[in-house]
């Protein structure tokens, strides 16, 4: 009975959660399922690594042609507990900041695009750069490239945002993003996890491109969002069509929604600056109302 309640609660959290929550659920769910399969395979003395290679991106172009789904599946696959723990912690911290300025739809789209960029650079590097070609065949798994795209996206879009770091205190996220990028770049020649560092670079560059283009008024994730929506809707139960004729108002596009959110935030920031400088009594009634409304959100 208790187990049923827990499962029902998890289902409810998933259905009512944000895109960020669902991404975390999916990653954890895949991890648990693969771990369960690995236990069964170990008991039956079946090679566990075959499961990973079936879902991970191969460095071999020939193998990739036969496993064309792997650039999408690999970004949800993790092998070790620490691997998934650190990836999801970064996704949670920076994903929450990302969703202060963008919609969940944009977050999901950037996650997928960042993962694809990481996979593309990994395949390119391991088929053209002599150091990596000599390493032979390999496989890439993990959400790191997707997470790096989100980290760089929010860091370069709002470089003044700060994050509380243990033993360090508040630090601008732009410095964290640059530090991690430089660390990955300096690790490209290492023997340990070479493919992972290459993929991180690919995801980071995609996130940077997203931030730069978005500041110019162009959302590079817009083209893939309808594809993700179509894929997600395949797994949703179909609702019966209503015979009533209902007219719907036009919904905001992602760009319109994000622009309105950013304009509102800029206005609140200006009111807060005025509050610090001249006090609450000097705010106009309209400014007080907007500040009060913002505090309730």
Report the alpha-carbon distance of residue 278 to residue 291 in Å, rounded.
15
Q: What is the signed CA dihedral for 261, 264, 269, 275, rounded to 10 degrees? A: -150
What is the number of alpha carbons within 13 Å of residue 219 lying toward its C-beta?
19
Which of 110-114, 193-197, 241-245 is most confident? 110-114
Nearby residues of 30 by Cβ (< 8 Å), 6 or more positions away: 76, 77, 78
pLDDT at residue 107 greater than cutoff 50: yes
- Using DSSP bridges, classify how beta strands 139-140 and 162-165 pair: parallel, antiparallel or unpaired: unpaired
Check residue 290 and give its pLDDT: 77
Average pLDDT, the chain: 86
With tokens 């960020």, the residue in question is 20
Average pLDDT of the residues in 42-71: 86
Report the alpha-carbon distance of residue 254 to residue 240 in Å, rounded.
28
Q: Which two tokens stand for residue 279?
A: 């006090």
pLDDT at residue 127 greater than cutoff 80: yes
Check residue 90 and give its pLDDT: 95
Check residue 218 and give its pLDDT: 93
Q: What is the signed CA dihedral for 93, 99, 104, 110, rounded to 10 degrees? A: -70
pLDDT at residue 106 greater than cutoff 50: yes
User: Among 80, 91, 70, which Cα is nearest to 26's?
Assistant: 91
**CATH architecture of the domain covering 2-232:** Up-down Bundle (1.20)
Q: Which two tokens stand for residue 56?
A: 């991970």
Check residue 49 and give its pLDDT: 60
Give per-residue burial for 153-178: e unless 16+ CB within 10 Å, then b.
Answer: bbbbbbeebebeeeeeeeeebbebbb
Q: Which two tokens stand for residue 59?
A: 């460095």
- Give residue-wise pLDDT tens across range 243-294: 555 444 455 566 666 777 777 877 887 787 777 777 767 777 777 777 777 7
Domain boundaries, the chain: 2-232, 254-295
Least confident span in 33-42, 59-68, 121-130, 148-157: 33-42
Helix (H) or strand (E) holding 165: strand 162-165
Nearby residues of 166 by Cβ (< 8 Å), 6 or more positions away: none
Cβ proximity of 74 and 145 under 8 Å: no
Q: Assign 3-class secondary structure to 177-245.
A: HHHHHHHHHHCCCCCCCHHHHHHHHHHHHHHHHHHHHHHCCCCCCCCCHHHHHHHHHCCCCCCCCCCCC
Between the alpha carbon of residue 293 and those of residues 89, 268, 276, 284, 296, the distances in Å are 31, 10, 18, 14, 5
More confident site: 59 or 46: 59
Helix (H) or strand (E) holding 67: none
């Amino acid at each position: 009975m208790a187990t049923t309640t827990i499962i029902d609660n998890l289902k409810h959290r998933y259905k009512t959660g944000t895109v960020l929550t669902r991404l975390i659920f999916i990653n954890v769910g895949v991890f648990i399922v693969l771990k369960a399969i690995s236990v069964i395979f170990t008991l039956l003395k079946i090679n566990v690594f075959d499961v990973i290679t079936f879902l991970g991106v191969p460095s071999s172009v020939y193998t990739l042609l036969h496993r064309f789904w792997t650039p999408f599946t690999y970004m949800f696959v993790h092998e070790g507990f620490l691997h998934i723990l650190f990836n999801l912690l970064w996704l949670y911290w920076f994903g929450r900041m990302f969703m202060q300025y963008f919609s969940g739809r944009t977050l999901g789209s950037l996650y997928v695009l960042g993962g694809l960029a990481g996979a593309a650079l990994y395949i390119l590097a391991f088929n053209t750069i002599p150091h990596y070609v000599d390493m032979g065949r390999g496989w890439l798994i993990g959400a790191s490239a997707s997470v790096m795209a989100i980290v760089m996206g929010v860091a370069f879009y709002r470089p003044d945002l700060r994050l509380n770091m243990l033993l360090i205190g508040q630090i601008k996220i732009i410095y964290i993003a640059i530090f991690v990028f430089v660390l990955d770049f300096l690790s490209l020649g290492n023997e340990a996890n070479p493919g992972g560092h290459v993929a991180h670079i690919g995801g980071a560059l995609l996130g940077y491109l997203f931030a730069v283009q978005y500041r110019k008024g162009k959302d590079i994730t817009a083209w893939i969002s309808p594809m993700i929506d179509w894929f997600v809707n395949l797994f949703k139960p179909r609702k019966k069509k209503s015979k009533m004729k209902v007219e719907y108002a036009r919904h905001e596009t992602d760009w319109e929604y994000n622009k309105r959110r950013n304009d509102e935030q800029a206005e609140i920031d200006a009111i807060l600056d005025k509050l610090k400088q001249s006090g609450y009594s000097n705010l106009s009634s309209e400014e007080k109302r907007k500040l009060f409304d913002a505090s309730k959100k």
